[in-house]
């Protein structure tokens, strides 16, 4: 079997026209999903001691695998860095990228990618030592700020200080781990990055109460999974897997009760449509009829995934905030499943 693939792959090198074949068919033929994730981001993607990947972004890929194969383990993870993630996706090294990537205009259009939605609303914030007595970012005039180079956060920081007529002294750093060391060693007064990153940094401190995250959010960082242009059916599948996770939370479907809810039609027609007990909606996108049942049973709904990896009960301890359902005053909202 493997050798046939090899031959097919080599044939594909010469027949470039086959590049835009249906991704779903490729995935089905291969027998597993290939998913690009971060090389390591606390709470979002990291390997455990057994080499199993886990995290908020990882679970999105597991949900997608469960939807396609009924098996959340049928997924292979390819770690990619911020530098090669887009080219690797464009080159087809994996089927989908779930690597806390900010949805921006140019990435969507110029880089020819399709963002499937937002699974986490992040935003850039500031963290300072509590003993500085600073309570707002507008008091940071003249401060030294640890900042990751080559990211949008660097530009946001410059914009923020210019707009507010303040000056700052940048302390350039390469990655989040270095930032922790520098910030905890008091090499800078403030550290700025996405608020989820600030939370995990604070959680790593010897004594987290020594540090405070300031209330200001100076940028919009809607993070979400994305696929390359050219296969709308595949994008639809990815988009509706995300939507289904959100609808499941909204409708109270959890990994514990979904099997029971799917055993017979309920009073709620949207639940019935989602779980395949009414109508044949899954056919429209090419998924098995009970895809959502497998997915929610094995991975859980959006809220369960959130709580498991980054919620208040984890060491990272993020509150839902804007990432709460729209019914609870947040921004997490899915179109109706009908």
Partner 1 sequence: MSDSSFVRTEMLKSEAPPTMEGSVLGWIRNNLFSGPWNSLLTIVFGLLIVYVLAEMLPWVFLSSWTATSLRECREIIPLTYGEGTTGACWAVIRERYLQLFYGFYPRELYWRVNLTFVLMLVALAPILFPNLPRQLLYFSGVYPFLGYWLLWGGTIWTPTLTLAGLIVGYLLFNFLSEKRGLLIGVIVGTLLIIFWFLFGVIPITVFLSENVTPLAIEIVESEQFGGFTLSVIIGATGIAASLPIGILLALGRKSDLLIVKSLCVGFIEFIRGVPLITLLFVASTLLNYFLPPGTNFDIILRVVIMVTLFASAYMAEVIRGGLAALPKGQYEAGDALGLDYWKSMRLIVLPQALKISIPGIVSTFIGLFKDTTLVSIIGLLDPIGLSKAIRSDTAWNGIVWELYAFVAAVFFIFCFAMSRYSIYLEKKLETGHR
Contacts with partner 1 by CB under 8 A lie at: 2-4, 6-7, 9-10, 12-13, 16, 18-20, 38-51, 76-81, 83-85, 87-88, 90-93, 175, 177, 180-181, 200, 203-206, 314-316
Query: Nearer to partner 1 by C-beta: 193 or 277?
Result: 193
Query: Nearer to partner 1 by C-beta: 194 or 297?
Result: 194
Number of Cβ within a 10 Å radius of residue 173: 21
Query: Nearer to partner 1 by C-beta: 49 or 163?
Result: 49
Q: Rounded to the nearest whole angstrom, what is the least distance from the CB of residue 2 to partner 1 in the complex?
A: 6
Query: Nearer to partner 1 by C-beta: 83 or 338?
Result: 83
Q: Rounded to the nearest whole angstrom, what is the least distance from the CB of residue 213 to partner 1 in the complex?
A: 16
Query: Nearer to partner 1 by C-beta: 45 or 246?
Result: 45
How far, rounded to the nearest angstrom, does the alpha carbon of residue 295 sit from its chain's CA centroid? Answer: 17
Burial class (CB in 10 A: 0-12, 13-18, 19+), 317: middle
Cα–Cα dist 111/124, whole Å? 23
Question: Would you state the structure tokens that stand for residue 250, as one six-digit string?
Answer: 């909204």
Q: Rounded to the nearest whole angstrom, what is the least distance from the CB of residue 11 to partner 1 in the complex?
A: 10
Query: Nearer to partner 1 by C-beta: 16 or 267?
Result: 16
Backbone φ and ψ for 251, nearest 5 degrees, come out as -90, 5
Backbone φ and ψ for 51, nearest 5 degrees, come out as 85, 5
Number of Cβ within a 10 Å radius of residue 255: 16
Q: Rounded to the nearest whole angstrom, what is the least distance from the CB of residue 261 to partner 1 in the complex?
A: 31
The answer to whether the beta carbons of residues 203 and 88 sit under 8 Å apart is: no
Q: Give the position of tokens 């479907």.
A: 253
Query: Nearer to partner 1 by C-beta: 237 or 316?
Result: 316
Q: What is the helix (H) or strand (E) element at residue 225, kind and residue range?
A: strand 221-228
Which one, of 316, 271, 267, 247, lies nearest residue 63 by Cα? 247
Q: Rounded to the nearest whole angstrom, what is the least distance from the CB of residue 292 to partner 1 in the complex?
A: 28
Q: Rounded to the nearest whole angstrom, what is the least distance from the CB of residue 260 to partner 1 in the complex?
A: 31
- Please report, to the nearest 10 degrees, the dihedral formed by the alpha carbons of residues 280, 282, 288, 291 taken in order: -120
Q: Rounded to the nearest whole angstrom, what is the least distance from the CB of residue 294 to partner 1 in the complex?
A: 25
Return contacts of 19-22, CB within 8 angstroms, 24+ apart.
19/92, 20/230, 20/231, 22/231, 22/233, 22/234
């Amino acid at each position: 079997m493997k050798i046939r693939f090899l031959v097919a792959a080599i044939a594909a090198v010469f027949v470039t026209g086959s590049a835009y074949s249906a991704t779903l068919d490729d995935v089905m033929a291969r027998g597993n999903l290939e998913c690009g994730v971060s090389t390591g981001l606390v709470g979002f993607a990291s390997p455990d001691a057994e080499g199993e990947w886990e995290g908020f972004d990882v679970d999105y890929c597991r949900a997608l695998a469960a939807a396609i194969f009924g098996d959340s383990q049928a997924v292979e993870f390819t770690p990619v860095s911020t530098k090669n993630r887009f080219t690797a996706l464009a080159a087809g090294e994996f089927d989908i990228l779930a690597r806390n990537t900010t949805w921006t205009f140019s990435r969507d259009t110029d880089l020819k990618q399709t963002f499937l939605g937002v699974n986490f609303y992040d935003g850039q914030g500031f963290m300072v030592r509590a003993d500085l007595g600073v309570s707002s970012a507008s008091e940071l005039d003249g401060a030294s700020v640890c900042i990751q180079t080559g990211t949008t956060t660097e530009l946001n920081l410059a914009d923020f200080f210019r707009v507010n007529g303040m000056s700052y002294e940048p302390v350039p750093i390469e990655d989040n781990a270095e930032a922790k060391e520098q910030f905890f060693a008091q090499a800078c007064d403030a550290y700025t990055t996405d608020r989820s990153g600030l939370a995990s940094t604070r959680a790593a401190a010897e004594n987290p109460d020594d540090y405070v995250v300031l209330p200001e959010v100076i940028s919009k960082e809607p993070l979400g999974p994305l696929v390359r242009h050219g296969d709308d059916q595949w994008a639809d599948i990815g988009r509706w897997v995300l939507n289904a996770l959100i609808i499941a939370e909204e409708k109270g479907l959890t990994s514990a009760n979904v099997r029971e809810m799917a055993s017979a039609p309920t009073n709620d027609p949207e639940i019935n449509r989602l779980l395949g007990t009414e109508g044949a909606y899954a056919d429209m996108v090419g998924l098995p009829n009970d895809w959502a049942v497998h997915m929610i049973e094995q991975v859980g709904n959006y809220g369960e995934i959130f709580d498991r990896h980054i919620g208040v009960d984890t060491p990272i301890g993020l509150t839902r905030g804007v990432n709460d359902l729209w019914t609870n005053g947040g921004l997490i909202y899915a179109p109706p499943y009908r």
